[in-house]
Amino acid sequence: MTRAQQLDKEADELARIIGRAWIRVAKLCQECRQQRFYKELGYERFGDWVEAKFGRSRSTAYAGMHAIEELCAGGMDETEIESLTLANAIVLSKVPTSRRKELLHAANSQTERTFEHTVSERVPGLLLEGNVQVFFTVPRSFVPVIERCIEKAKRLNQTDSKTVALEAIFADFDLRYDDSALTALESACEVQR
What are the pLDDT digits (tens) for 119-175? 989 988 777 766 677 777 889 898 889 999 989 888 887 777 787 778 778 877 776
Percent of the chain with pLDDT over 70: 92
Cα distances from 168 to residues 18, 76, 159, 176, in angstroms, run 35, 27, 11, 12
For residue 131, which of 157, 162, 163 has the smallest C-alpha distance? 163
Neighbours of 149 (CB within 10 A): 13
Residue 82 · residue 71 · CB < 8 Å: no
Residue 60 · residue 38 · CB < 8 Å: no
What does pTM read for this prediction? 0.58
Residue 92 · residue 104 · CB < 8 Å: yes
What's the mean pLDDT in 87-111? 91
Distance of CA 126 to the CA centre of its chain: 16
| 137 against 188, higher pLDDT | 137
